[in-house]
Amino acid sequence: IMPYQTGVDSTKLMNISRRVATVSGFAVQFNKAIVGKNAFAHESGIHQDGMLKNAETFEIMRPEDVGLTETNIVMGKHSGRAALRSKLENLGYELGDNQLKDVFVRFKELADRKKEIYDEDLIALMRTAADPENDRITLKSMHVVCGTEGPNVAKMTLTVDGTEHSTEQTGDGPVDASFKCIKALVDHNARLQLYQVHAVTEGTDAQATVSVRLEEDGRIVTGQAANTDTVVSSAQAYIHALNRLLVRREKGGSDKREISYKDAG
């Protein structure tokens, strides 16, 4: 109507919304306009009837206008790399061969644990991708004992700058015990500002996406991880945040000091 151009590519809205959610550590609420999970969902009978007759009755824009695409490709443990690449491209992700190789390995691991792989599961895989070049701390193994009786115990082995270190800690719950293991092995002064968990999809086998925000000397970093085991996902998110904190230290001009650790046996 008006003789002006904005230059806005609306098909990128969904992708940039996911990026903001990743950086901030806050998931988009389901009822959020345009980018929320329920923005193009209709349950009411009168709404469904109107949609079947004319989609413009209740939708002033199409899902594809904001970057949502629908495909009939069902992802599972027998899916190949070509199908995964196509599905990720439909979700707005363009991967190189090396990136696809890494994501495909983690996709297969997830498919072995879950019967159905939803789009949200794939998005979680992309949001929590590892960075081997910058990850100086990695989770080698962990074992947690928890319940209504007795202490909650976590045993953990971390690989720090290529060397393995192990410890065992007790805590007020499995997550607290796991975080104490990391604190015991990687000595740092970062303060936990945020710990947030939400399920990626429905079902008891749903992935839990955990966000951890740390603050140290004015530096604020957010780590995220997704796993069908909430405690493992929590530990991975904490480690992810620590790795980002170490990168921020170096980029901030501070000396590249070695990670101090305490071998707690």
* pLDDT value for 35: 85
End-to-end CA distance of the chain: 72
* pLDDT value for 261: 52
Contact 198, 113 (CB under 8 A): no
Mean pLDDT computed over 135-150:
89
CATH, range 10-127: 1.10.238
Asked if pLDDT for residue 256 goes beyond 50, the answer is no
* pLDDT value for 167: 94
State percent of the chain over pLDDT 90: 24
Q: Which of 243, 244, 227, 17 is nearest to 124 (CA)?
A: 227
Average pLDDT score over the chain:
82
Q: Which residues of 215-226 are buried (b: 16+ CB within 10 A; e: fewer)?
A: eeeeebbbbbbb
Largest CA distance in the chain: 72
Q: Report the alpha-carbon distance of residue 232 to residue 181 in Å, rounded.
A: 12
Residue 92, token pair as written in the block: 């707005």
CATH, range 137-251: 3.30.160.270
Query: Where do you find CATH 3.30.160.270 in the chain?
Result: 137-251
Q: Report the alpha-carbon distance of residue 181 to residue 176 in Å, rounded.
A: 9
Asked if pLDDT for residue 156 goes beyond 80, the answer is yes
State residue 21 phi and psi, 5-degree precision.
-60, -40
Contact 208, 226 (CB under 8 A): yes
For the ranges 38-47, 134-143, 189-198, 248-257, the lowest mean pLDDT is seen at 248-257
At 208, is the pLDDT very low, low, confident or very high (cuts 50, 70, 90)? confident
24-33, 37-46, 228-237: which has the highest mean pLDDT?
A: 228-237
pTM (2 decimals)? 0.68
* pLDDT value for 65: 86
* pLDDT value for 231: 94
The pLDDT tens digits for 100-132 are 888 888 888 888 877 778 777 887 777 765 555
Query: Where do you find CATH 1.10.238 in the chain?
Result: 10-127
Asked if pLDDT for residue 239 goes beyond 70, the answer is yes
Instruction: Kindly report the number of other CB atoms within 10 A of residue 118's CB atom.
Output: 16
* R_g of the chain, CA atoms, integer Å: 21
Mean pLDDT computed over 30-49:
78
Q: Report the alpha-carbon distance of residue 65 to residue 67 in Å, rounded.
A: 6
Q: Report the alpha-carbon distance of residue 243 to residue 237 in Å, rounded.
A: 10
Asked if pLDDT for residue 264 goes beyond 50, the answer is no
At 72, is the pLDDT very low, low, confident or very high (cuts 50, 70, 90)? low
* pLDDT value for 262: 53
For the ranges 185-194, 202-211, 222-231, 256-265, the lowest mean pLDDT is seen at 256-265
Between 1 and 174, name the one with better pLDDT: 174
Q: What residues contact residue 119 under an 8 Å CB cut-off, 6+ apart?
A: 87, 91
CA angle centred on 138, ends 136 and 142, rounded to 5°: 155
